[in-house]
Amino acid sequence: MNPLITFKLIVLFILAALRLQAQMPMIDRGEYIEGLWCFPLHTDSLTYVYLPNSARFAFNEEKGPRFSYLRYSILKPKEGNTTNSISEADGGGILHMLVLYETTPETVLKAEDALRKKYGNNPKLKLRGPMAFEKGTYALISSIITEGGQKKETKLIATGEAPVLENTSLALSFSLNPVQSKLLLESFKMKTPDVSIVFDLSFSGLTESHDAELDIDWSEAKKAGFNAGVSVYFVNADENWALKKCA
């Protein structure tokens, strides 16, 4: 069986213009080259870090995906019928997989070579490694294994913490009722996958400093309310700035 599961990688960045840390990347100097987003470090413009660009199943020793799908049935005696003791069946399925996000060594080498060529074949320029993430989450999204199983509507099935280090396996396990297990089995036979796993990763970075005065007319500012109890005003300038208004 060739399980058809889509993997998506979403990376968010948090601007930290006031946190001058040596190992932080320069966000506004990032470059998309050979399929990778690459960012120079704040204290070393010749050292770059990259964002992982793909997610997949983890592999076993035989290079097969670490994925299992078990369907089972439980025979139950029918109530009030002693002559035919077994007439009903119950059961379901168990979906288990190990997944990870990564960047192939070939992709990293191509990106590093392209960066060096772009900047005069400088041999000191290097693509050091993956970005250091601060937080990671995953989400399992499906139109097949939804509760009830009769409607093919997109639903968030599960979410949880994801590893922040590249090439770290994440174990996922889900219990399915009989209808869900049957529909999921049929979905694996289709060309279009019905199951998606989304990684959401976040990191901090720096931007170039700004020496300017900003005048704000609060009556014209766009206001957005958040449940956290603070008011955040978005002001449209050369860049998007979020300013907290003190109570």
Domain positions in the chain are 5-209
Q: Average pLDDT in the 101-112 region?
A: 91
Nearest CA-CA partner of 2 in 189, 197, 192: 189
Q: Distance of CA 182 to CAs 29, 89, 189, 198, 241, Å?
A: 49, 14, 11, 23, 49
Report the C-alpha gap between 166 and 70 in whole angstroms: 29
Exposed (0-12), middle (13-18) or buried (19+): which is 179, by Cβ within 10 Å? middle
Q: What are the b/e assignments for 15-45, b being 16+ CB within 10 Å?
A: beeeeeeeebbbbebbbebbebbbbbbbeee
- Identify whether the C-beta of residue 156 lies closer than 8 Å to the C-beta of residue 164: no
Q: Average pLDDT in the 33-45 region?
A: 90
Nearest CA-CA partner of 25 in 207, 220, 176: 207
Q: Average pLDDT in the 85-95 region?
A: 70
- Above 70 in pLDDT, residue 210? no
pTM: 0.62
In the structure, what pLDDT confidence band is assigned to residue 41 with cuts at 50, 70 and 90? very high
Cα 2 → chain centroid: 22
Mean of per-residue pLDDT scores for the chain:
72
Residue 24's pLDDT is what?
84
Residue with tokens 């290097």: 126
Choose between 178 and 106: higher pLDDT.
Answer: 106
Choose between 168 and 108: higher pLDDT.
Answer: 108
Nearest CA-CA partner of 126 in 137, 113, 138: 113
